[in-house]
Amino acid sequence: RPVVTRPETQAIDMNSRSNTLADRDIVPSEQTFGFLGLGMMGSTIVKDLIFTKHKVVVWNRTIDKCQPFVDAGAEVKDTPMDVVEAADIIFCCVSDPKGAKDLVFGNCGVLQLKDLRNKAYVEMSTIDPDTSMDIGEGIKQCNGRYLEAQIHGSRQEAADGMLIILAGGDRTVFEECHSCFKTIAKNTFFLGNVGNACKVNLILQTILGVSLVGLAEALALADRFSISLNDIIDIFDLTSMKSPLLLAKGKEMAKGDFNPQQPLSHMQRDLRLVLNMAENLDQSMPVTSITNEVFKHTKRLGYSEHDSSAVFVRSRF
């Protein structure tokens, strides 16, 4: 069993800007935007929203993470409920469906405000359609508007302003978020009812997870034959199978550099959500099931916080 060290947590660089921002000609909305969750994704998004002159109010469970944003001009609040009170449109970007639900239904959560007239809630955390529908229902019952805006892309793509936004729910909220989405994403899609965007996001994650496990197993076999992984990747690059992502992940596997662009724990969470969805439909997904087991095992080996490409470590056993 290898000795596993946690990947270094990279401090957010408040001065770095994606090159794409200058070309986008962003006119910031006049509304005040709340932001719940300043993890790696949330921080990167908020940094760019502040840079493009959006009015931002923030909250994070670990409150220390808010300070750089306060220094950059954001307001900080003590609870999610306080953020909702102070903002017109509130984004949430936390780890998982449970965290997302806690922030809405929990103690000091969004619904404690009771009256959400003139407020809109935008869920960016990766969640399953049922969780999104529950959250949307809760918000609607308090007269608020709801949009799920799933973010597809890695942490680097977030830093480059190159995410893809997949949205479903209230179209007026989608339109009111235009200047924010233009700041952080290269494309945005409105996919109709609540739940649709979550489904599309999780379907894309299925393709990613299964592809990564295939890549890892193939490279592990090459390694057993003592064939240079770099040679394999160079040849792969010349084939019609190549994709920018698989090339990048292959290089990470060859180097053993698992700096978390898309943490392995998030990948496994997504596969779990996919399999739950499939279970409810009696949809058979044998390859995805095995892929999930492979990621689960890699987590048990201590690679939760590393990039999903760390699945290669397990394949080499």
Nearer to ligand NA7, 95 or 211 (CB): 95
φ, ψ (nearest 5 deg) of residue 189: -130, 135
Nearer to ligand NA7, 153 or 250 (CB): 153
Q: How far is the CB of 158 from ligand NA7 (least distance, A)?
A: 8
Q: How far is the CB of 68 from ligand NA7 (least distance, A)?
A: 13
Helices and strands in the chain: count of H runs, count of E runs: 15, 8
Nearer to ligand NA7, 28 or 106 (CB): 106
Q: How far is the CB of 279 from ligand NA7 (least distance, A)?
A: 21
Evaluated on CA atoms 99, 103, 107, 111, the torsion sign reads negative
Residues forming contacts to ligand NA7 in the complex (CB under 6 A) are 37-42, 60-62, 65, 93-95, 99, 102-103, 125-126, 151, 266
User: Of 119, 154, 115, 127, nearest to 307 (Cα)?
Assistant: 154
The closest residue (CB) to ligand NA7 is 39
Q: Which residues pair with 76 in a beta bridge?
A: 58
Q: How far is the CB of 218 from ligand NA7 (least distance, A)?
A: 26
Q: How far is the CB of 303 from ligand NA7 (least distance, A)?
A: 15
Give the three-state DSSP class for 142: coil
Q: Which contacts (CB < 8 Å, 24+ apart) does range 279-288 have?
A: 285/206, 287/210, 288/206, 288/209, 288/210
Q: How far is the CB of 205 from ligand NA7 (least distance, A)?
A: 9
Distance CA 233, CA 80 (A): 46
Nearer to ligand NA7, 154 or 315 (CB): 154
Q: How far is the CB of 61 from ligand NA7 (least distance, A)?
A: 3
Q: Which two tokens stand for residue 305?
A: 């916080």
Nearer to ligand NA7, 27 or 108 (CB): 108
DSSP state of 263: B
Nearer to ligand NA7, 266 or 314 (CB): 266
Nearer to ligand NA7, 291 or 304 (CB): 304
Q: Which two tokens stand for residue 306?
A: 């590393």
Q: What is the DSSP string of 160-212?
A: TT-EEEEEEE-HHHHHHTHHHHHHHEEEEEE-SSTTHHHHHHHHHHHHHHHHH
